[in-house]
Amino acid sequence: MVANPQYLAAWTAQTIKYLEVLPSVIMMYDYVLTLEEEVSALLYCYPIPMAIHTSPFTKG
């Protein structure tokens, strides 16, 4: 199979662009995951006891 030079050049440029963007995408994804973990940890820690204390069914 003989590769088309134009296709190869376009593919290489696209790959280089992708590789340049990749670290920031990974960092952003990592940040979102960390944020999600923190938020879910907060949600697990706080609203459940609050809901139990403020629920009309558990008072009394």
From CA 35, how far away is CA 41, in angstroms rounded?
10
Contacts of residue 1, Cβ cutoff 8 Å, sequence gap at least 6: none
pTM exceeds 0.85, yes or no: no
Give me the mean pLDDT over the 1-13 stretch.
Answer: 85
Read off the pLDDT of residues 11-39 as tens digits, 9 standing for 90 and up: 999 999 999 999 898 899 888 888 888 88
Query: Between 22 and 57, where is the model more confident?
Result: 22
Confidence of residue 5 (pLDDT cuts 50, 70, 90): confident
Confidence of residue 57 (pLDDT cuts 50, 70, 90): low
Angstrom distances, CA of residue 26 to CA of 15, 18, 33, 38, 43: 16, 12, 10, 18, 25
From CA 20, how far away is CA 8, in angstroms rounded?
18
